[in-house]
């Protein structure tokens, strides 16, 4: 079955560490997205990519980095510059175009210890 | 700053009633509108999309769009306890950009 896979499900980060969240899709979607969700909040856009080797910053890109070397993969790195990284991170993909909704992965819950 | 506004709730309805969820958006040129359902601790799932003024029905769900008033709503008929979740409204303002989400409305259906 086609889908979008995020790993790990839970991740613990020590102060000053960089960590990478994985996102892989086999839906043949061109566009991929990273959102962050804090308790009681909606989704805030971190980065998105519509084509391999190209990506755009979202509203809260500071302290994060991404790469898009393959169509199927869009990993997110949370750097030590991100001062408040504890959150639920959601990866999504979609067909290109304004009229297509997103398919979401199951999410990664990141906690700073 | 483009915004999507939703009443956070909680909205409480008895089983079998109609639940009405509302969303307003700030930019008149918005192209497409989506409703997602999110259970606690889970990821959002798409339940409705709407692009043109008027109503769109899918089973117990009806999405309503009024572009002149910059307003989109979701009606859930014959509400069930399993409908208890947070409902997120999302707007695509322009092709080539990403969806902007509201903060969600929490719905509680009591049996």
What gap in Å lies between CA B106 and CA B86, rounded to an integer? 4
Residue B76 has pLDDT above 70, yes or no: yes
Q: What is the pLDDT of residues B29-53, one digit of tens each?
A: 888 999 999 999 999 999 999 999 9
- pLDDT score of B1: 74
Confidence of residue A85 (pLDDT cuts 50, 70, 90): very high
Q: Mutation target for B interface from A33, A36, A43, A90: give the one with most B CBs within 10 A.
A: A43
What gap in Å lies between CA B11 and CA A77, rounded to an integer? 37
What gap in Å lies between CA B20 and CA B15, rounded to an integer? 13
Q: Tell me if A105 and B92 make a contact (CB, 8 A cut-off).
A: no
Nearest residue in A to B89, CA atom: A42
Of A77, A79, A107, whose CA–CA distance to A92 is shortest?
A: A107
- pLDDT score of A66: 98
- CB-CB: which of A50, A90, A107 is closest to B96? A50
Residue B99 has pLDDT above 90, yes or no: yes
Q: In the A/B pair of chains, how many CB contacts fall below 8 A? A: 55
By CB neighbour count within 10 A (0-12 exposed, 13-18 middle, 19+ buried), where does A51 fall? exposed
Q: Tell me if B103 and A40 make a contact (CB, 8 A cut-off).
A: yes
What gap in Å lies between CA B90 and CA B34, rounded to an integer? 5
**What distance in Å separates residue B108's CA from the closest CA in chain A?**
15
Q: What is the pLDDT of residues A29-56, one digit of tens each?
A: 999 999 999 987 889 999 999 999 999 9
- CB-CB: which of A58, A97, A99 is closest to B98? A58
Q: Tell me if A43 and B101 make a contact (CB, 8 A cut-off).
A: yes
- pLDDT score of A113: 87
Residue A1 has pLDDT above 70, yes or no: no
The DSSP line for B61-111 is EEEEEETTTTEEEEEESS--GGG-EEEEEEEE-STTS--EE---EEEEEE-
HSE of A65, CA atoms in CB hemisphere, 13 A: 8
By CB neighbour count within 10 A (0-12 exposed, 13-18 middle, 19+ buried), where does B13 fall? middle
Chain B hits for A48, Cβ within 8 Å: 98
Q: Tell me if B103 and A97 make a contact (CB, 8 A cut-off).
A: no
Confidence of residue B93 (pLDDT cuts 50, 70, 90): confident
What gap in Å lies between CA B33 and CA B50, rounded to an integer? 5
Q: Tell me if A42 and B101 make a contact (CB, 8 A cut-off).
A: yes
The two tokens of residue B103 are 């903060």
Please enumerate in sequence order all residues whose Cβ is within 8 A of that of B97, keeping only pairs 6 or more positions apart, or say none: none
Interior CA angle at B58 toward B52 and B59, to 5°?
160
Q: Nearest 5°: phi and psi at B83?
A: -80, -10
């Amino acid at each position: 079955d086609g889908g979008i896979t995020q790993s790990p499900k839970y991740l613990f980060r020590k102060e000053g560490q960089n960590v990478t969240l994985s996102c892989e899709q086999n839906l043949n979607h061109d566009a991929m997205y990273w959102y962050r969700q804090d308790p009681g909040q909606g989704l805030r856009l971190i980065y998105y990519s519509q084509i391999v080797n190209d990506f755009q910053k979202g509203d809260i890109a500071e302290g994060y980095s991404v790469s898009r070397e393959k169509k199927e993969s869009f990993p997110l790195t949370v750097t030590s510059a991100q001062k408040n990284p504890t959150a639920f991170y959601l990866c999504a993909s979609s067909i290109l175009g304004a009229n297509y909704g997103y398919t979401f992965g199951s999410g990664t819950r990141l906690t700073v210890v | 700053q483009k915004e999507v506004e939703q009443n956070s709730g909680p909205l409480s309805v008895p089983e079998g009633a109609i639940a009405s969820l509302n969303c307003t958006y700030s930019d008149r040129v918005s192209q497409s509108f989506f409703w997602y359902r999110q259970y606690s601790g889970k990821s959002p799932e798409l339940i409705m999309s709407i692009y043109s003024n008027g109503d769109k029905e899918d089973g117990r769900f009806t999405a309503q769009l009024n572009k002149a008033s910059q307003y989109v709503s979701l009606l859930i008929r014959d509400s069930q306890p399993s409908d208890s979740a947070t409902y997120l409204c999302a707007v695509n303002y322009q092709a080539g950009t990403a969806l902007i989400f509201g903060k969600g409305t929490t719905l509680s259906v009591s049996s």
